[in-house]
Structure 1
Amino acid sequence: MDAAFPDLLKPFLKYAGTQPITSEASLQELGLDSMRAIELLFTIEDTYGVSMPDELLTDRTFATAGSLWDTIESLRGRAA
């Protein structure tokens, strides 16, 4: 994950508090619900210049900070 990614996630995670967000952090346990996930998706697409296809809009993609970051990196690699 890049250094800015945890800060990007924090506003969407109502239970994150001040704890650091690691790649293993469960986004659902930290309070990411379906409405916030949609908002997060738009923020990710705007921030990282990617477009997430429907087939990647799964619980697996949004399971952890690391799984979401890996998806972003994969999409960025396709665009390059």
Structure 2
Amino acid sequence: MKIAPLHPDGTECEPRGQPSGKPRDPASGCAGRRSYAVVCSACGLVRDRHGLRVLAEPAQTRHRDSHKTTLVPATR
């Protein structure tokens, strides 16, 4: 499960950009980072996009916790 930086069109922003979200190399063709989303390998895109990475982290934790199995009491 990861937090992926997204372009304005919703595609994942692969090249590393500046802290402002702008691409380091303007000639790269990258539109720059606009938002972040939690991406689960089993479920795909989880919930809404977030403007800051720090706001996506609680959604990542909640979704990860939803995948944990509940413990079943042992029977004798």
Interval containing the TM-score (normalised by the shorter chain): 0.3 to 0.5
Q: TM-score, normalised to structure 2's length?
A: 0.39
Q: TM-score, normalised to structure 1's length?
A: 0.38
Q: Which has a greater percent of helix?
A: 1
Which structure has the bigger radius of gyration?
A: 2
Q: Highest relative contact order (Cα 8 Å, sep 6+), 1 or 2?
A: 1
